[in-house]
Structure 1
């Protein structure tokens, strides 16, 4: 098993070259043309590594890629995404760099390094029956890829998610379920100086609703309900006729997620004559530990056999596509990707020395799940 780590250490220069290719192709989720260009590069690299072309799956203009390799009785889903939160032009201020064992660049940690790991791990297990699904809208909530993810996961014995690791390389065994809402408030405009009494102030109604929403969380259960971006009104001297605010809600279990949803849908206006509309709802179900525990034990055993340090596990508040695979009952292990930090932030980076060992672990886990050499 220790030879597998050495094998990937020998592949590291090629992995780094592939990673540079992907990072230097900017792919912000909302720019469908940029995502399509990135998909073409991922397809090219995958075809070179596997000797097989992917299937392009375009949904609502967003480009996803799927490789279905092998034909054994059991199949493993390897899940990655190639979109990022970084806008076009980010390379000018955050160029790709690989210095002193630290690799930087927009989207390098979240999660193009994990995608490169997936390509090389699968390439080394050519007899494995694997589906590699690379989606293009994860950072937007996977609205166009959710059904695709769930359909693929339903046919697999396990889903391995190449999202970046938690601190110090920890695997992610639990993720909160994520709900997203938009609250639209309608009032009535009037001149703020001449006849404000004729207006219905949407800003004041929004203030009532923001306070009500902020009280829906439950700290004892780890449930957070956070009013976020808010807009209201048009000019300084006009009673606002409309306001909108967004809400981010997260919970460790389905019951809490549904409780918050029921409360959000039950919001009612406070000011006479005002009205409100609540849009949205649960976006990702929770990833519960019971869907990850067995895979974590398996990965920990393999890490020891590879001569690697013991694997740590954590629970995190952020969601991923692993929430969807676990939500339909497919055993799921998340956080198998790069070690580093700074996701979505100025300090986004990958620790180069960790790439080969973690790719070896991924390859060993795929082989072990399928009982493949």
Structure 2
């Protein structure tokens, strides 16, 4: 019996376990719900893998870690979602059809977590294969980045269980930088003596246009949230805006940081300060080339058909592991769509197929000297 045959026979078990995770709403900011889903997943993983994870608590957040032997393979995922508690109550029913599961977080990325656990179980849960599941990925991994680096540093490769891109694996991801540009001016009465003020909103509009112009082909620099002023009849003394930047290469990301750090005011009397910087480094496509070749060969061996690799703009914890030089292949999780959007779904027939791909690729990696 092949890996694909074995996992196909377990499709219904997989579906029920994915639904079990999805019925526990787990937004990144709800520590009680995160604790609940971590405990549920720990029990599921213990049953499937035959060993319990290390339960890690950092700044009130849980993580689960099945530690691999040095030089092994690390599967990486997260249990938090972008969906607030109560979303399930208004989600269109049914959650399951003949072909799909549709519920908050199923595509990003609870189906991928379960598929990964079944994949490791299918190859006998060898000690050289581990898994790390965190609970702060959707907010940029501010707490668990050090743990991710430490865990990845023990591995020969990292396989990220994030959702696919229209079925394709993710060989590259843009790096993310996040900034807040703060403007200080001087308040004055907007009707009586506006000339005595220094209008922070006007300075903000100039700086936002300047920052937006830093973007180029492949580099996006986008002003997003903006706030200015206190009352409708006062020249704004304070203002700020956020900037989301995505870079293809580390050099591009570093060059942008220099430009952001040297913003200067235009209006006399205004002050500009810049906070923030790179959050996740780029996952440059070349680092995943050998892993993608292995995944393609594995897919052919298993009869899964052709396999594509793409670069995408969104970031994941795979950016962190690739950034420290560990070969990383992403997008090995669910096949479906509408991540972070109403109607998020995962395709049921693809669940055992992608689980078999992870199992076969992991076994292939473990067989390498």
The TM-score with structure 2 as length reference comes to: 0.96
SS of the counterpart of 1:34?
Answer: helix
Find the partner of 2:115 among 114, 117, 135: 117
Pairing 1:87–2:88 present: no
Q: Aligned partners of 1:127, 1:250: CA distance in 2, in Å?
A: 37
Residue matched to 2:141: 142
* 1:341-356 correspondence runs (5 A): 341-356=337-352
* 1:1-373 correspondence runs (5 A): 3-69=2-68, 71=69, 74-94=71-91, 97-125=95-123, 126-167=125-166, 169-219=167-217, 222-371=218-367
2:67–2:151 contact (8 Å) kept in structure 1: no
Structure 1: tracts of 5 or more residues without a match: none
1:128–1:367 contact (8 Å) kept in structure 2: no
Structure 2: tracts of 5 or more residues without a match: none
Q: Shift in Å at residue 60 of structure 1?
A: 2.1
Instruction: Between 39-48 and 119-128, report the one with greater CA deviation.
Output: 119-128
Q: What is the number of residues matched between the two proteins?
A: 366
Q: Shift in Å at residue 155 of structure 1?
A: 1.0
Q: Aligned partners of 1:367, 1:36: CA distance in 2, in Å?
A: 31
Q: Shift in Å at residue 128 of structure 1?
A: 4.5
Instruction: Report Cα offsets for 1:307-356 as digits up to 9, x if no partner.
Output: 11110111101111111111111011100000000000112110111000
Instruction: Report Cα offsets for 1:66-109 as digits up to 9, x if no partner.
Output: 1125x4x6310100000000011110112671113011000000
1:181–1:246 contact (8 Å) kept in structure 2: yes
* Runs of 4+ deviating beyond 4 Å: none
The TM-score with structure 1 as length reference comes to: 0.95
Q: Shift in Å at residue 33 of structure 1?
A: 2.2
Instruction: Report Cα offsets for 1:204-259 as digits up to 9, x if no partner.
Output: 1100110110110112xx11111111111122111112111110111111111011
1:172–1:333 contact (8 Å) kept in structure 2: yes
SS of the counterpart of 2:35?
Answer: helix
Instruction: Between 151-160 and 31-40, report the one with greater CA deviation.
Output: 31-40
Q: Aligned partners of 1:45, 1:67: CA distance in 2, in Å?
A: 13
